[in-house]
Amino acid sequence: MFHKEGHKIIFITFVIIVAAFLLVDSVITIAWLRTLVLIALLVLLILILQFFRNPKRQTVLNDKQVIAPVDGKVVVIEEVLEKEYFKEKRLQVSVFMSPINVHVTRYPISGNVIFSKYHPGKYLVAWHPKASEENERTTVVVENETYGKVLYRQIAGALAKRIVNYAKQNHRAEQGADAGFIKFGSRVDLFLPLDTNIKVALNQKVRGGETVIAEM
């Protein structure tokens, strides 16, 4: 199953690959070179298909828990000053996505979307300390009565050139549901209440829609 954000790219890539296959087969006469080029084209197609895959996840709905919004590795767990929305200290948990990870963004909690904003910006590498404030990004805040307010931020990286955000202010969010997509790698930051109980560790690999990041 592939994400809808990849349908156009997958179709165009497939057409180009097929055309390239036919051209290479008729133009390159050296057998080993022709085989090498054909394999390279096939690998490219497989990489594109893998990048836009959208596997189903078994989300256990729980208003007392925050789940991972994306697949990847936990690279930050620290207390920080969140400057855009809360303007006070929060616990930040950041998940870095490599190009081979699933890049679907999922809602970390159920509730009402009370804030959603896009920011144009730079394309610093995703692990850069200033990426959260200077890169292209979207900021979304979801609130429910049990957990309170959770902010998540999609951040573009050096390769990511398009962030897709489906969260609209005053809309209802369902934990684990599709909230957007980041094309070609990046990271997502979560900003949580200071009294939350973090359930992950640095360098831990997480699965979007399933791994519990924190709970009350």
> Which active-site residues does the annotation give?
186
Whole-angstrom distance, CA of residue 81 vs CA of residue 15: 48
* Short-list 89, 205, 103, 85, CA closest to 152: 85
Q: How far apart are the first and last CA of the chain?
A: 34
b/e 92-120 (16+ beta carbons within 10 angstroms → b): bbbbbbeeebbbbbbbbbbbebbebeebe
Whole-angstrom distance, CA of residue 85 vs CA of residue 133: 12
The SS3 of residue 183 is strand
